Amino acid sequence: MHSSIDHKDFYEPPGGILIWILIFLELITFGVALIVLIGYSREDPTAYHISRLKLNTTFGSINTVFLLTSGYFMAESLKQFKANHLPRATILLQLTLLGGLSFLLLKGFEYYEKIEHGLTLGHDTFFNFYWLLTGFHVIHVFVGLTILGSILWSLKRARTPLLLEDYEASAAFWHMCDLIWLLLFPTLYLVL
């Protein structure tokens, strides 16, 4: 079994203090952007509501399911890694990646739909926020998948053992993508 870390130590939260500083910075950045969007919407609530109705909430809900399920597999993968069940950890990590890729695929369809209808960057202020917020989130998902891909490579092929700290930090980054989406989806797609 991998050596345990005392997560009760303030400087040792699960994943490490650096990743949690990053996570909070990202949550604050996205949070402020969403609040600014809400603030702008108060100038013309009807126009923002009409624009919001053009979003595909079914796609958004399905993407929520993809990310939550992917997060579950990530948590289970880490649990198996800690128990030194590396083959199981590998399979669960692959399922995590599949969930992330499914999210990106559906997001691609959603973006295609928007572009086909002319709802691009510059269409109106709401859609400026939509493209910027979801676009930055997609970039985070790409980065997360790249990190998880490197972890998967290390599990399968690397000669030196993977450190628990690295696995936990990578998992924390992936879950961060989920946390951001759980705030972004209702604010952008549901409440305006």
Partner 1 sequence: MKLNNTNTLGVLLLLTLCTALFSIFGWGKNGVIAIILILSGVKFLLVAFRFMDMYKAHRLWKLLLVGYLLSFISIVLILLK
The residues of the shown chain that bind partner 1, judged by CB under 8 A, are 7-10, 13-15, 20, 24, 27-28, 31, 34-35, 38-39, 42, 57, 61, 64-65, 68-69, 71-72, 74-76, 79, 171-172, 175, 178-179, 182-183, 185-187, 190-191
User: What are 175's two structure tokens?
Assistant: 């879950």
Question: In the complex with partner 1, which residue's Cβ is closer, 90 or 120?
Answer: 90
Which residues fall within 8 angstroms of residue 103, CB to CB, at 6 or more apart?
63, 66, 67, 70, 141
Question: In the complex with partner 1, which residue's Cβ is closer, 20 or 111?
Answer: 20
Q: How far is the CB of 63 from partner 1 (least distance, A)?
A: 10
Q: How far is the CB of 121 from partner 1 (least distance, A)?
A: 24
Question: In the complex with partner 1, which residue's Cβ is closer, 70 or 162?
Answer: 70
Provide the residue type at 105 as one letter.
Answer: L
The conformation of residue 44, written as its DSSP 8-state character, comes to -
Residues 127, 119 contacting (CB under 8 angstroms): yes
Q: How far is the CB of 157 from partner 1 (least distance, A)?
A: 27
Residue in the structure block whose two tokens are 């989130």: 137
Question: In the complex with partner 1, which residue's Cβ is closer, 86 or 179?
Answer: 179
The conformation of residue 9, written as its DSSP 8-state character, comes to S
Residues 190, 49 contacting (CB under 8 angstroms): no
Q: How far is the CB of 138 from partner 1 (least distance, A)?
A: 19
Q: How far is the CB of 149 from partner 1 (least distance, A)?
A: 20
